[in-house]
Amino acid sequence: MPPEATAAIRAPFGERLAAARSTRGSLCVGIDPHPGLLDAWGLEDSPAGLERFSLTVLEAVGPVAAALKPQVALYERHGARGLAVLETLLARAADAGVLTIADAKRGDIGSTMQAYAEAWLGEGRPLAADAVTLNPYLGFESLRPALDLAAATGRGVFVLALTSNPEGRSVQHVGGDASVARSIARAAAAENAGPGPGQVGLVIGATVGDAAQRLGLDLPSLNGPVLAPGVGAQGAGRRELEAAFGAALPFVLPTSSRAVLAAGPDTAALRAEAERTRDGLA
């Protein structure tokens, strides 16, 4: 089935995410199977342990989170068998009606970017998620294959704009009021022009403080979601989110990984921790 035909039967990602948030709250839970977490759960650092970990998180947290965000690198480290586990997770989540954001941070040019787009956003592809994170630092327009394919297939993208790691400032903050981060935010907003919530979101760390305001990012005009990693173990809570996003807070998808996952492997404890975190951000 061509992507254009699929778009007619799948609601756009922005609409599906808004619906999930209205019924399950705004929390996104990262699925980060670090070796230390696998060990804490009593699991081997192997594809089998990876699968047990991933599907347990899906079962426990899927019903109470707006989306799940598997960290692709932690599957890739197990090679083909690790990626097969990720394929299983994405398929099971789709069957359960749980939105997934593949945290792959892909970015390239030309036919290579086209291939990345098809891998993570193409209809019928084994690794296709509901959305994928993208790296725009070869130029925002280099992402065009992914932007167009996401629009065609009813999927979404989250473009790195303002990350919380100290090294990011050397690129993202350059230009002051005409910062690189601001140019990325404006380009994303242009993609979302039109009625309804757009499918192009931004990644902005929950611990960036007032950087978005200082650098002139007009987040309320984005008309799309903001993925905000850093809740919980990295120190962000409701107060930090309000400081970072202000009037744009209703569009933010706060993300917690380690703080929730540390409650496992018991599924009831995992779900309770996810609910506690979600309710504390409301």
Output b/e per residue, 214-239; b: 16+ Cβ within 10 A.
ebbbebeebbbbbbbbbbbebebbee
Edge-to-edge strands, sheet with 252-256: 67-70, 28-31, 252-256, 226-231, 200-204, 156-162, 131-134, 101-106
Radius of gyration of the chain (CA): 18
Beta partners for residue 70, in sequence order: 31
Residue whose pair of structure tokens reads 């960290």 in the numeric block: 71
Which residue of the set 10, 34, 92, 105 is catalytic? 105
Catalytic, 69? Answer no
Residue whose pair of structure tokens reads 């960036």 in the numeric block: 208
Beta partners for residue 157, in sequence order: 132, 200
Q: Which residues are catalytic?
A: 105
